[in-house]
Amino acid sequence: MNDITKHRRASHAAHFTLCGALCSAACVVEKIDAIIAEHGVTYWPSSSGDDTGALGMSTSTGTSTSTSETTNSETGGHSGTADSSTTSDAGTHGTSDSSSSTGAMGPHCGDGVVQGDETCDDGNATPGDGCQECAKDSTVFITSELYKGYSLEGLYGADQRCRSLAAKAGLQRAETFRAWLSTPSMAATDRLVHSRGRYLLVNGLVVAQNWEELTSGALQHSITVDEKSQTQDGYAWTGTLADGTPALGSEFCGEWEENMGFLIFGGEGRSLGVDSTWSFFDQGGCDENNSLYCIEQ
């Protein structure tokens, strides 16, 4: 075989080898394209700019399948969208309860069942119905400051004095406090919430188990502790009988806002009393300095 013939045969062999390699590469590309079409594979170029990117599953196929399987598993095989929202009910005392679609709801305010430290739970959030915030304990105090009977600026002014002192002392829900105070036309029993919860002094001592006991004329402990948890033994302007009604046999210092001169009186309670005298003990001259009873609502 001459050199020319050998050269031609070598060229033909190289040609067939190259074609085979190209055909194999083409087949591989076709197979990759088939995999992409079948599985929804997408190509993300790498952040470095080279061609060695990552392969990932498309969310349009893989995620929807996973979500569907999870939904059917959690709902017992029923079709539909799983509800992953949580429900929370927070109260004024900082308590909140939550649950998800995968767990049972625990005790919480508003479920209509008295549980935990609740003293009532009427299943609603209606204010002023006697079961506010599931009737957590309400704070009661006698004011550390003293006021003349005619300088209270009425019922509103008395309430503001209670709230101011509660806020300065750092008591919770200070803005809800009201004075145990009546006028001839407005009774304390009509101004205050009739709570089913306990009434406690700032130091934690129980004054009454609920509104009924508070207005029964028999307290468990005298209201002798002020907003700073200091003891106060004195008198408080009330104009109110122990049941929360106006002491109509007495005077009210010009409805607690008028200096009508001498010999004008207002009803007052004795802070040491645990019977009805805690609310109405006697009448005092409106130029005297007395405290107020303040009750959280």
- Structural domain spans, the chain: 3-74, 132-295
- At 98 the pLDDT is 34
Q: Which residue has the higher pLDDT, 152 or 36?
A: 152
- The reported pLDDT for the residue numbered 113 is 83
Lowest mean pLDDT across 116-125, 165-174, 239-248, 283-292: 116-125
Sorting pLDDT into bands at 50, 70 and 90, what band is 274? very high
Whether residue 222 is predicted with pLDDT greater than 90 in this model: the reply is yes
Check residues 9 and 152 and name the one with the higher pLDDT: 152
Least confident span in 87-91, 115-119, 205-209 = 87-91
pLDDT surpassing 50 at residue 91: no
Per residue in 51-86, pLDDT (tens digit) is: 333 333 333 333 333 333 333 333 333 333 334 333
pLDDT at 8: 43
- CA separation (Å) from 55 to 21, 30, 31, 34, 64? 25, 17, 15, 15, 18
How confident is the prediction for the chain on average, in pLDDT? 73
Q: Do residues 269 and 236 make contact, with C-beta atoms less than 8 angstroms apart?
A: yes
Range with top average pLDDT, 94-108, 117-131, 214-228, 256-270? 214-228
CB 239 within 8 A of CB 182: yes
Place of tokens 């599931």: 134
pLDDT at 265: 94
Q: Please count the CA atoms within 13 angstroms of the CA of 294 that sit on its side-chain side.
A: 33
Does the pLDDT at position 288 exceed 60? Answer: yes
DSSP 252: B
Q: For the residues 174-178, what does the mean pLDDT come to? A: 96
In terms of pLDDT, which residue wins out, 290 or 132? 290
* DSSP tag of 272: T
Q: What is the spatial distance between Cα 42 and Cα 56, in angstroms, rounded to a whole number?
A: 6
Q: What pLDDT sits at residue 63? A: 38
Section 82-92 average pLDDT: 36
pLDDT digits (tens, 9 = 90+) for 182-218: 999 999 999 999 988 899 999 999 999 999 999 999 9
Architecture category of domain 132-295 in CATH: Roll (3.10)
Q: What is the mean pLDDT of residues 116-142?
A: 75
Give the residue, 7 or 240, on which the prediction is more confident. Answer: 240
Question: How far is 144 from 194, CA to CA, in rounded Å?
Answer: 25
Per-residue pLDDT band at 244 (split at 50, 70, 90): very high
pLDDT of residue 18: 37
SS3 96: strand
